[in-house]
Amino acid sequence: MAAILIQNACLLPIDEAMSIIDRGWMHVENGTIQAIGSGEPPRIEGAELIDVDGNVIMPGMVNPHAHLAMTLFRGLGEDVDDRLFRYVLPMERKFVSPEMVRVGTLLGALESIEAGVTTIADMYYYETEVGRALDQAGLRGVVGQTLATFDPPDHKTIDQGFALVEDLVSEFSGHERIVPSIAPHAPYSTDIDVMARVARWAEDHPDVPVQLHLAEMDSEMEWCRKNHGLRPVAVVEKAGLLRPGLIAAHCLHIDPFEIERMAKADVRVAHNARSNAKAGRGIAPIEAMRAAGIKVGIATDGPMSGNTLDLFSQFGPVSMFQKLLGHSRKPMPAAQVIRMATLEGAQVLGLDSRIGSLEPGKQADLIRIDLSAPRMQPIYDIYATLVFSAMPVDVQDVMVGGRWIMRGRKVESLERKEILRDAGQIATAFKAEMARIDAAG
């Protein structure tokens, strides 16, 4: 790929000091960042010069927990208390197919790109389709095949589930942007002997990250107590899954002792502030987790529970909930929120040697954010502006591995119209099924 020299940027490299480089420049070549600096850029023979007119250039954002295909369930039965059992689970059993997963994931990929998210950890069914869709979108993904014992749509037995995992691994191992992953659903939905089998399998596959939901709900606490006499973290530990690199989503019900155990085990956390709040579940103690050294990323969860796949709409809740917990303005400063959305998210996924910050040698995953909207002006603290004022629509350009996948808000890697049409067709079938369920009483 030809050399690119970006200049006149407000550069946020996400280094240790969370520096802000005014009039910054960056040299990208062969998909990687060659150099960054401030002031007069160097002369590079044959390089394409891009003057970004003082816009922010920062790393592409990392979403460490999502179910992209669930875009198709977004807003369905929003205020129906038992919507999961009334609509969602029966409809998943009826409609989830490789084609539905493909279309839903493409819709989610489109939304992610338009919001400046360049890496997503996903867990769902037919996950090979998710890997293919993210590859087509030009995004990075950690794609986790779900394993569960509640009769999920794509496997009747755990052996069949493992066969899907093996297919996923053989299709994507060594892929430059797609990382295959294994995803036991949660302690209450994946039997302890299955989690133990996953732990043994993971020992033999150190490059395949393990993802699961953990300590998310009151009913999960109750289930673990009744069935194991333990709290969820202890159940996962008993199964041998509390291991380095585990990507644990939610982690609301975590006490100080468990924080210590998780930090020691090098477990990482995907924080889903908005979806947890919408379900009335509570607030994860992420300030305490980060103080103990646990890496915490900002995640969206599936769009059925969180509605959007952009991180901007997470920033307010992520920051404000910790301030509410601490009864102070001080917890979770804006710069730390942006750090979690980028480098720390990459650390959660074990990808921080390649992405998450703008430094020479790393992959050129970057986004350009326009600051000219009235709601962004004036600017005293760029991080506060990004956390509390910026919106997905302010993202102008998105690059992954040196390739522009969005320029001037036009996604170049995907066919927008086709995806919206296909998603609309599936939603029509979903609406008919909901009417049928309602008519049946």
Taking the complex as a whole, how short is the minimal distance between the CB of residue 270 and Zn ion, in angstroms? 8
In the complex with Zn ion, which residue's Cβ is closer, 183 or 208?
183
Taking the complex as a whole, how short is the minimal distance between the CB of residue 331 and Zn ion, in angstroms? 25
Annotate each residue in 278-307 with x if it binds Zn ion (CB under 5 A) or - if it does not, as one string. -----------------------x------
In the complex with Zn ion, which residue's Cβ is closer, 33 or 210?
210
Task: Supply the DSSP symbol for 363.
Answer: B
Taking the complex as a whole, how short is the minimal distance between the CB of residue 135 and Zn ion, in angstroms? 22
In the complex with Zn ion, which residue's Cβ is closer, 301 or 370?
301
Where are the strands (E) in 256-407, listed by range?
Answer: 268-271, 296-298, 366-369, 395-400, 403-407
Taking the complex as a whole, how short is the minimal distance between the CB of residue 216 and Zn ion, in angstroms? 8
In the complex with Zn ion, which residue's Cβ is closer, 212 or 259?
212
Distance CA 409, CA 179 (A): 27
In the complex with Zn ion, which residue's Cβ is closer, 129 or 301?
301
In the complex with Zn ion, which residue's Cβ is closer, 258 or 301?
301
Taking the complex as a whole, how short is the minimal distance between the CB of residue 1 and Zn ion, in angstroms? 35
Distance CA 436, CA 297 (A): 40
Taking the complex as a whole, how short is the minimal distance between the CB of residue 249 and Zn ion, in angstroms? 5
Residue sitting closest to Zn ion (CB)? 301
Q: What is the CA radius of gyration of the chain?
A: 21
Task: Supply the DSSP symbol for 33.
Answer: E
Distance CA 27, CA 37 (A): 9
In the complex with Zn ion, which residue's Cβ is closer, 179 or 251?
251
| DSSP codes joined into one string, 64-119 | EEE-GGGGGGTTTTTT-TTHIIIIIHHHHHHH--HHHHHHHHHHHHHHHHHTTEEE
Q: Would you say 3 and 46 are in contact if contact means Cβ atoms under 8 Å apart?
A: yes
In the complex with Zn ion, which residue's Cβ is closer, 26 or 304?
304
Q: Which two tokens stand for residue 390?
A: 């910026």
Distance CA 162, CA 141 (A): 20
Q: Would you say 177 and 204 are in contact if contact means Cβ atoms under 8 Å apart?
A: no
Helix (H) or strand (E) holding 140: strand 140-147
In the complex with Zn ion, which residue's Cβ is closer, 287 or 301?
301
In the complex with Zn ion, which residue's Cβ is closer, 237 or 301?
301
Q: Would you say 414 and 106 are in contact if contact means Cβ atoms under 8 Å apart?
A: yes
Taking the complex as a whole, how short is the minimal distance between the CB of residue 25 and Zn ion, in angstroms? 40
Binding residues with Zn ion: total (CB under 5 A): 1
Positive/negative CA dihedral, 349, 149, 171, 199: positive
CA 332 to chain centre: 19
Taking the complex as a whole, how short is the minimal distance between the CB of residue 417 and Zn ion, in angstroms? 29
In the complex with Zn ion, which residue's Cβ is closer, 114 or 301?
301
Residue 303's φ and ψ, nearest 5 degrees, are -70, -10
Taking the complex as a whole, how short is the minimal distance between the CB of residue 41 and Zn ion, in angstroms? 43
Q: Which two tokens stand for residue 319?
A: 């920051």
Task: Give the residue from 216, 138, 130 showing the smallest Cα distance to 181.
Answer: 130
Using alpha carbons, list the distances in angstroms from residue 2 to 29, 139, 226, 404.
6, 20, 61, 12
Taking the complex as a whole, how short is the minimal distance between the CB of residue 244 and Zn ion, in angstroms? 22
Residue 190's SS3 state is coil
Task: Give the residue from 66, 251, 247 showing the smallest Cα distance to 140.
Answer: 66
My answer on whether omega of the bond before 378 falls inside 30° of 0, hence cis, is: yes
Largest CA distance in the chain: 71
Annotate each residue in 386-425 with x if it binds Zn ion (CB under 5 A) or - if it does not, as one string. ----------------------------------------
Annotate each residue in 15-54 with x if it binds Zn ion (CB under 5 A) or - if it does not, as one string. ----------------------------------------
Taking the complex as a whole, how short is the minimal distance between the CB of residue 201 and Zn ion, in angstroms? 21
What are the residues binding Zn ion (CB under 5 A)? 301
